[in-house]
Homo-oligomer: A and B are copies of this chain.
Amino acid sequence: MSRSPVRAAPAIVTKAREGVDGDGPAVDSFMLDNGLEVVVAPDRRVPVATHMVWYRNGSADDPVGQSGIAHFLEHLMFKGTEKHPAGEFSKVVSSLGGQENAFTSYDFTAYFQRVAREHLETMMGFEADRMANLALADEVVAPERDVVLEERRMRVETDPGAQLSEAMASALFVHHPYGVPIIGWMHEIEGLNREHALEYYKRFYTPENAILVVAGDVEVDAVRRLAEKTYGRIAPRGAKPQRLRPREPEPRAMRRVTVADSRVEQPLMQRLYLAPSTLTAQGRDAAALEVLGEAIGGGPTAYLYRKLVLEQGVAVNAGAWYMASAVDDTRFAIYAVPAAGTGLEQLEEALDRAVAAIPAEALDDKAVERAKTRLVAETTYAADSQTALARIYGAGLAIGQTIEAVRRWPAEIEAVTREDLASVAQRFLTPRRSVTGQLRKAD
């Protein structure tokens, strides 16, 4: 779900047709007069429509001292408007046989529904209504904050693995807000109130800051007409809200983080490296990091699994991943779960040796080609799912890519060479850029 580096602003009207300038499926896009960007991805195999609204703000845009507010507001968006009381939207989706969901990430927040195509207008009406008319009474805000606090308690406070993840992210991003958990720090969630929510809502929930993605059995002209009738009535604010993000300083020190807890049943180790993202990378670096992640860590046929699990028997699982899709510098991760009888120190030594041997042992032409094929095939397969297709465009545009850049991605991946992989491994998988984490059973 990550694409090539592009910094240009999205064009007002874009036509990108299959076979003309890329490999992805055909999509149309246009902008409403109030600045709302619209992407239409036709998929006529079944009479269903996927309707998504993406906002270009995520947890990394939370104001200082208000961590968790992006996620809190995502919850509050289900609390109704003047016109529609809390729960009505969800009840309607459900009564129409549809599905709905919402998610908050570091760089964006998104809401979506999947319904029979004839109900698209109803969805647009509800979603446009809560973009502008959210009701935020105190009676709603305080209990929902308790829900979020309970969510954090369940997800993090009782889970040593989640605590390790938070501590590792904090150690990797010492200055950038990617080091703050999406759900927020407990004591700051406790302090969130109606005024914070209202101020945040007014700042970010605007037509200029939103992207509407409609995928499915729809015509672009019909979508345009419906969009104008619903979202088009929302008054523009005159400008997009600004993201205020500090840049991470150049890392100098190797860092280690250990969580030791009596509840740990399965120890593990993970390592994060600070790496450029699709948006911050130079040249082919981001595409090369994607292929590298796949080649060394993309499942049981990849290098790390073969080496540590199959050949050496020191691990029961091992892999890697790269969070390419990010506005700012991001993380490349490797991990391993020790086999019974293998200590974390021994495992780490084996992992270190395996990482050092990447250029010599992991990057033969066959392995690189297989990784590229797997990556592109996965995305092609994903595009075959209407929801995944809509997500690829929504996420890409939300972090600042153009539609063209999103569609060019398979070609960018194909262009990566073995030398590119060796180069990014050598430049970015270095001790100084890393945080190593251990999850241990407490003595």
A positions within 8 Å CB-CB of B: 64-65, 67, 163-164, 166-168, 170-171, 174-175, 179-180, 185-188, 244-247, 249-260, 431, 437
Q: Which residue in B65, B167, B260 is a CB contact (below 8 Å) of A255?
A: B167
The residues of B that contact A64 with a CB separation of less than 8 Å are 64, 244, 246
Asked if A255 contacts B255 (CB within 8 A), the reply is: yes
Q: Which residue in B67, B244, B253 is a CB contact (below 8 Å) of A163?
A: B253
The residues of B that contact A164 with a CB separation of less than 8 Å are 253
Asked if A259 contacts B252 (CB within 8 A), the reply is: yes
The residues of B that contact A170 with a CB separation of less than 8 Å are 174-175
Interface of A is mostly: mixed
Asked if B246 contacts A253 (CB within 8 A), the reply is: no
Give CA–CA (A437, B431) in the complex, Å: 15
A and B contact pairs by CB, cutoff 8 A, 10 listed: A164-B253, A167-B253, A167-B255, A171-B171, A175-B180, A185-B249, A188-B246, A255-B257, A256-B256, A258-B431
Give CA–CA (A174, B171) in the complex, Å: 7
19 additional contacts (CB under 8 A) given A163-B252, A253-B258: A64-B64, A65-B245, A166-B252, A167-B252, A167-B253, A168-B253, A170-B174, A171-B171, A171-B174, A175-B180, A175-B185, A185-B247, A186-B249, A186-B250, A187-B247, A187-B250, A188-B246, A254-B257, A254-B258
* Copies per complex of this chain: 2
The residues of B that contact A174 with a CB separation of less than 8 Å are 167, 170-171, 174, 179
Asked if A254 contacts B260 (CB within 8 A), the reply is: yes
Closest chain B CB from A371 CB (angstroms): 32
Q: Which residue in B180, B185, B247, B259 is a CB contact (below 8 Å) of A253?
A: B259
Give CA–CA (A437, B188) in the complex, Å: 29
Q: A184: nearest residue on chain B (CB-CB)? A: B249
Closest chain B CB from A283 CB (angstroms): 21
Give CA–CA (A431, B167) in the complex, Å: 14
Give CA–CA (A168, B171) in the complex, Å: 10
Asked if B246 contacts A65 (CB within 8 A), the reply is: yes
